Amino acid sequence: MKNFLLFFIHGIPELTACAAFCLALAGIPLHWKKVIPIGLVLTVAIYLIRMLQMHFGLHTLLATLLLTFILLKTTTISPKQAFTFSMITFVTILIVEYICVQTVFAVTGLDPSIIKENELIWKMVATPQILVMFLLAFIIAKTKKKSHGEWSV
């Protein structure tokens, strides 16, 4: 039960940040009443995918495809743009997560093998990436010209 709660406490903000980042890349205004449900859907989907015990990383590919599908159903961007922005989003979160986690380990001197065994501490170590993704989404949304598409719902 604890891992279930931790997954959602961490997953909803993380995937909402990913959705916001992707929408900002697409030049679509960040309407939070629309962005947050996308993050929630992605979180539930990834939780269900992880329960299927699939190969490591497959959930990321499926999340990319799901985000592409959601963008196609909720915005006016093209399929090529939706897939491209979804791919960029998940590559970015992988890079940001790696940099943030390595920085936390370097600054604190924590041992990665021990931290990964404790789900709560691991989620706390991985929290800075969420803040970075939201920050990047806000910066992109403020500086990027709204040119690719608009909400269709």
Domain boundaries, the chain: 2-143
Per the listing, tokens 């608009």 go with 150
Alpha carbon distance 110, 105 (integer Å) = 5
Identify the residue with better confidence: 56 or 37: 37
Cβ 30 vs Cβ 141: under 8 Å: yes
Residue 153: band (very low, low, confident or very high) from pLDDT cuts 50, 70, 90: confident
State the sign of the Cα–Cα–Cα–Cα dihedral 28, 80, 10, 50: positive
Residue-wise pLDDT for 49-108, tens only, equals: 888 877 777 888 999 999 999 999 999 999 999 999 999 999 999 999 999 999 988 998
Q: What is the distance between the alpha carbons of residues 136 and 142, in angstroms, rounded to a whole number?
A: 10
Which tokens go with 2? Answer: 């604890």
Above 80 in pLDDT, residue 24? yes
Question: Is pLDDT of 27 > 80?
Answer: yes
Q: Cα–Cα distance between 131 and 20 in angstroms, integer?
A: 12
Task: Give the whole-number percent of the chain exceeding pLDDT 70.
Answer: 97
The average pLDDT across 2-14 equals 89
Q: What is the mean pLDDT of the chain?
A: 90
Give the mean pLDDT of 101-129.
Answer: 86
Identify the pLDDT of residue 146: 67
Task: Give pLDDT, residue 120.
Answer: 83
* Residue 27, both tokens: 């030049």
Expressed in percent and rounded to 5, the helix, strand and coil fractions of the chain are 80, 0, 20
More confident of the two residues 24 and 111: 24
32's CB contacts (< 8 A; 6+ apart) are: none
The pLDDT value given to residue 35: 97
Beta bridge pairs of residue 151: 75
Question: What proportion of the chain, given as a percentage, has pLDDT over 90?
Answer: 63
To the question of pTM greater than 0.85 for the whole model, the response is: yes
